[in-house]
Amino acid sequence: MASKLSCSSFTKFLILIGLSALFSLSLADVVPPPSPTTPVSTSTICKSTPYYSFCKSVLPNNNSSANVRDYGQFSIRKSLSSARKFLSLIEKYLRHSSNLTITAIRALEDCRLLAELNMDFLQSSCKTVNSTTTNLPTFDTDNVQTLLSAILTNTQTCLDGVQVTASAWSLQNGLYAPLSNDTKLYSVSLALFTKGWVPKKKKLPSHPTQKQLAFRNGRLPLKMSGRNQAIYETVSRRKLLQTNEDQILVSDIVIVSQKGWGNFTTVNDAVAAAPNNTNGTNGYFLIYITAGLYQEYVSINKNKKYLMMIGDGINRTVITGDHNFVDGWTTFNSSTFAVVGQGFVAVNITFRNTAGAIKHQAVAVRNGADLSTFYSCSFEGYQDTLYTHSLRQFYRECDIYGTVDFIFGNAAAVFQNCNMYPRLPLSNQFNAITAQGRTDPNQNTGTSIQNCTITAADDLATSNITIQTYLGRPWKEYSRTVYMQSFMDSLINPLGWHEWSGDFALNTSYYAEFNNTGPGSNTSGRVTWPAFYIINSMNATNFTVSSFLLGDAWLPQTGVPYTPGLI
């Protein structure tokens, strides 16, 4: 028997269903759409979801008094039940995996991790939507929409891994149907939540003052205990000139040094020493990584929250590996460095995958950590260098090197003041900087690139070979990428964007440019797809840190500088 759902009961909702014989109301022809508290039929409300017939089959259809929020609560609860069943199915296959290939087992392990995350996200969403019958605060609304967007991303990632390895094993029939049905159910839940709770225009928190955004002498203004600060300054040779204001709170510090003068010699051992499930109120657990080449695969799990890693600088503190698709790793688990723990911050570190272009998909960093920040870091690889997998992410003054789809994923990610360096690909390849993976029109995800610089890496710049380089291509049906106020060098093909396959997603994606500069920014020869737009400042504002990430609510505590709006 399945365990009892942690989500609160739906007694009120069930009572409403019992009254269905007394009431009969259909708003199918009402314009404008009903408010979130207006009774509405399933026939009407399911029209606002991507899967009308499936929605009708899932929601109770004999209740004339339910509104969109009632249906949304019901759908999210049903999603939680389905997620639990799918996790049990994955665990069953893993228990009987002796006849599977190693690649198939790795794909199943990916699915298990992603299913566990979906359980967490749905439990959190369920708790939030049942906490009140009135409107939710803006950040709570954004949290739930973000989590429901992420469960779709997680499910799609599992499906992608299963499909790639299906030719080697017999699991496709067993997993494809539940994955497909779960995708539809999660999409319905997201659509109903968006309809019932998400306002047409976000009410943003006020911008922080310049004092809150202060950043001293190019260093994070860390606030530590006297002992921790003395340790940090001794090892790093940095004097942190601070006052008692605008400091980033640090609860504890450990030092990683390959020379043996710290607490640990490996990054993984330092991560293991971090406390579990902290909420950040007591400050970050700081891992200071001294200069060195760390050849290890680092994974920061969901229970390791609010970790801050500071290195000695780009190309001085380097974490490196070479896992890749050709050698039997899924794209998801080919990463040198993977993080899902909320509130992660990395500063002054190079993350590298040395597999090379010949090994195809080879991820340097996979980021699925909500409210995560990378500042003054470098990401080095070829195909699929930086996997911005899911949730809310911010990158500032970072360097990203790669060839094919080297920034890809389905997070809500903003890159600000970063450098993108297309490299020399294989002879039969072209460069695509981005491959955004939005699969549903209600996901609040996309890639926003603001005030960045796009120039050729040294190997491409000095090559005599003509390589076509594009701003991006649509990996999934609702791919969304915006370039604004950025410098584009002459390596960018005049078309700007490249198709994925035929006319796939050319009508449903969203590609936009705003006030870019440089010889590659001329839009007169751009693609003529319905999905491509030249936008104005009003539209561009939707993709700034304040609007797209609600960054003013969480970035100041990281100490990382950022520009809230347009420049």
Query: Which of the residues are catalytic?
Result: 405
Say how far apart CA 427 and CA 492 lie, in whole Å: 18
Say how far apart CA 347 and CA 335 lie, in whole Å: 19
Q: Is the dihedral of CA 504, 167, 88, 298 positive or negative?
A: negative
Give me 227's structure tokens. 């002992």
- Do residues 250 and 284 touch, judged by C-beta distance below 8 A? yes
Residue 289: closest CA among 371, 351, 332, 247 = 351
| Cis-peptide into 32, omega within 30 deg | yes
Residue 422: closest CA among 410, 433, 412, 413 = 433
- Do residues 370 and 279 touch, judged by C-beta distance below 8 A? no
Element (H, E) at 233: helix 226-236
Say how far apart CA 184 and CA 550 lie, in whole Å: 28
Q: How many CB atoms lie within 10 A of CB 88?
A: 11
- Do residues 525 and 495 touch, judged by C-beta distance below 8 A? yes
**What residue spans of 172-213 are helical by DSSP H?**
172-197
Please provide the DSSP assignment of 418-459 as one string: -EEEE----TT--EEEEEE---STT---EEEEES-EE---HH
Tokens 């999409």 correspond to 187
| Cis-peptide into 221, omega within 30 deg | no
- Do residues 567 and 485 touch, judged by C-beta distance below 8 A? yes
Distances (CA, A) of 297 to 64, 81, 204, 336: 55, 34, 38, 5
- Do residues 272 and 217 touch, judged by C-beta distance below 8 A? no
Task: Return phi, psi of residue 321, to 5°.
Answer: -160, 180
